Amino acid sequence: MKRKLISAIGIAGMVVSIAACGGEGGGSDKGGADAKELTVWLTVDAQNNWPQLVKAADAAVQKKHPGLKINHEYYGWPDKNAKLDAVLATDKAPDVVEMGNTEMLGYMVKGAFAPLDPAKFDNSEAWLDGLKASVTYEDKTYGVPYYAGGRVANWRKDIAASVGVKTPPKTYKELTAALDKIQKKQGGKFNAWYQPTRDWYAAMSFVYDAGGAIATESGGQWKAGLSSPESLKGLTEFKNVVDSYMHGDKTKDESDRYIVYGQGKSAMIFAAAWEGATAEDPKNDKTGKLKGKLENFVMPGPSGKNMPVFLGGSDLAVPVKSDAQALAAEWINTYTGSSGQKGLMAKGNLPNNKTDLATLKNDPATAVPATAAESNWFVPMAPGWGQVEKAQILQTMLQSIGTGKKSVEAAAKDADAAIDKVINTK
């Protein structure tokens, strides 16, 4: 799931010496298991969709610690970080906070979270690669993956069938062959593949599929890599998709993709797994005929392998100012551990680990997102990555490519220069 990265915390007193607050271990000298009160901040997703899992974690921890009081506060994604920033400037920090996985980096760089010992958390040896990367900075672990959300392809079965295609494509060649037939039949104003140009999550999947990268690290320094031959190959294929199948506004991002898809003038999207179902919801289905006609499938990549997808999701962290770090870590493990993951999967989430993910591949209802999530990528865990996102360098590059304002090579070169100026800056 997409989360906006906060690149600069910018509040007084937040840069704290983690070393002064104890070493790794799922807690520190600053707070042990004898704490009498615990404050847990989660988003409204937990409050609205799986409150029973929160209660179960509370009950299990309180059984081991009689008399413990657990306070919960719930926040919406738009206002959560502003409230967190404000409280971290005081001495009344919560003990557990939920973070979008792309939000973690800025806080880890600033020293806002306590280091944790991954060995003390269930399935840590099997955490999904993208989620593990999101909680790791300079070889230390500062959070625990909570749940994941992946990306899949989704298309109109009825439109595919109208050109003789009865099953989802298994290869990229099969996909483009089907889309070529659809585009020809539907005409030039139709989007055989509605692919917003500024959607950098999709574009970078092409880059990573081709063996490229946004940036790579060597000797402690990060260097942009969009101008490498591999990255250019991926960006060129992304441009081919936009040129061939996307006939809408070439300056749009993906924020309203499911709404556009629901208007019935597109045959396919490559999007978050929930977007297809949301498009066919009666509130968004402007055709009144999409129910049962949309189908998810694993996106094949031009490389011949499954397309690597950006793995969104949430993590749980312990603020360095918490006075109950050990107990906070215990609550997190109870909530995100083996039983908790089963509950989260029952609610339609992908688990935080490969072991549980493998079980979903055996269920037709979950096989597609589970299989797609096996191949994933994540943003560079560089100190200045937040500034890259804030400046929308990737989106600007992709819009220049999609609109034809710049060649692929020129746009990538300019993006690399802009990235290199900030990516190593804390």
- Exposed e or buried b per residue across 106-145, where buried means at least 16 C-beta atoms within 10 angstroms of its C-beta: bbbbbbbbbbbebebbbbbeebbbbbbbbbbbeebbbbbb
Tell me how far apart the alpha carbons of residues 402 and 233 are, in angstroms, rounded to a whole number: 15
pLDDT at residue number 66: 95
For 199, residues 6+ apart whose C-beta sits below 8 A from its C-beta are 253, 254, 257, 398
CB 253 within 8 A of CB 245: no
Which stretches does DSSP call E strand in 193-308?
Answer: 215-218, 221-224, 268-272, 294-297
**Residue 55: per-residue pLDDT:** 98
Residue 31 is predicted with a pLDDT of 54
Confidence check: pLDDT of 301 > 90: yes
Please provide residue 340's backbone torsions phi and psi, each rounded to the nearest 5 degrees: -65, -40
Q: Which amino acid does the sequence have at 367?
A: A
pLDDT at 63: 96
Contacts of 158 (CB under 8 A, 6+ apart): 293
The percentage of residues in the chain with a pLDDT greater than 90, rounded to a whole number, is: 86
From residue 256, give the alpha-carbon distance in Å to each of 202, 231, 269, 379: 15, 27, 12, 23
pLDDT score of 91: 86
Q: Which of 83-92, 164-173, 258-267 has the lowest mean pLDDT?
A: 83-92
Which is nearest to 322 in space by CA: 12, 29, 25, 10?
29
**What is the pLDDT at residue 78?**
86
CA 271, distance to chain mean position in Å, is 12
Q: Percentage of residues in the chain with pLDDT exceeding 70?
A: 92
Higher pLDDT, 34 or 423: 423
How many angstroms separate the CA atoms of 172 and 175, rounded? 5
With 0-12 / 13-18 / 19 or more C-beta atoms within 10 angstroms meaning exposed / middle / buried, residue 34 is exposed
Instruction: For residue 365, give every residue at least 6 positions away whose Cβ sits within 8 Å of its Cβ, in sequence order, or none.
Output: none
User: Tell me: the pLDDT tens digits for 346-361?
Assistant: 988 999 999 999 999 9
Which pLDDT tens digit goes with each residue over 119-159?
999 999 999 998 999 999 999 999 999 999 889 999 999 99
The answer to whether residue 8 scores a pLDDT higher than 50 is no
Q: Residue 112: its pLDDT value, please?
A: 96
Confidence of residue 32 (pLDDT cuts 50, 70, 90): low
Give the pLDDT confidence score for residue 30 in this predicted structure.
Answer: 55
Structural domains for the chain: 18-148+312-370 (3.40.190.10), 151-309+391-422 (3.40.190.10)
Task: Please name which of 128, 146, 125, 124 lies closest in space to residue 42, comparing C-alpha atoms.
Answer: 146
Is residue 313 helix, strand or coil? strand
Answer whether 134's CB lies under 8 Å from 316's CB.
no
DSSP codes joined into one string, 320-358 = TT-S-HHHHHHHHHHHHSHHHHHHHHHTTPBPSBHHHHH
Residue 286: predicted pLDDT:
97
Mean pLDDT across 323-339: 96
Please state the pTM of the whole predicted model: 0.86
Q: Which of 31-40, 52-61, 216-225, 302-311 has the lowest mean pLDDT?
A: 31-40
Over residues 333-343, the pLDDT tens digits come to: 999 999 999 99
